[in-house]
Amino acid sequence: MRFVCKSFSELNNKELYDIMVLRQEVFVVEQDCPYLDADGKDLDADHVMIYENAKLIAYTRILAAGVSYPEYTSIGRVVNSSTVRGRGIGRKLMEYSIETCLKKYPEISIKISAQVYLKTFYADLGFEDTMERYLEDNIPHMGMILRKK
């Protein structure tokens, strides 16, 4: 496995294409949720990618405070390919993304918008439930925060 983190301007055409394909495969097709994925935030994001045998298998984006949340950095668009689920790739992806986010923004806590069914997964990584519940694209979500140490 190869971990890569790049700003939007550092992405090459193939990496950007791979990101968009993976996000659409899971968020639009698999979750049957037509929505505008290109929300403008990618331009200001750091893009974390995991490649295996030259194929993108997992991805997140890291956003500075003020992009998604006024007082928090954020990790979003957390996705892994259906072909690698059950192998612990999602945990490795999040651990790397958290570490990268905390290195880049050490003084700021991280807030995520988590699908409710993944509450335990994120809690095991140190995220706390904010008690915010909402529907995002007709999927139950919740706010969670990883407080800076």
DSSP letters for 31-69:
TT-------S-GGG-EEEEEEETTEEEEEEEEE-TTTSB
pLDDT, tens digit (0-9, with 9 covering 90-100), for 135-149: 988 889 999 999 987
Can you give the pLDDT at residue 138?
Answer: 85
Domain ranges of the chain: 2-112
Task: End-to-end CA distance of the chain: give it in Å, rounded.
Answer: 29
Q: Pairing between strand 2-7 and 55-63?
A: unpaired
Strands 110-115, 73-80: pairing is: parallel
Q: Which CATH class is domain 2-112?
A: alpha beta
58 pLDDT higher than 80: yes
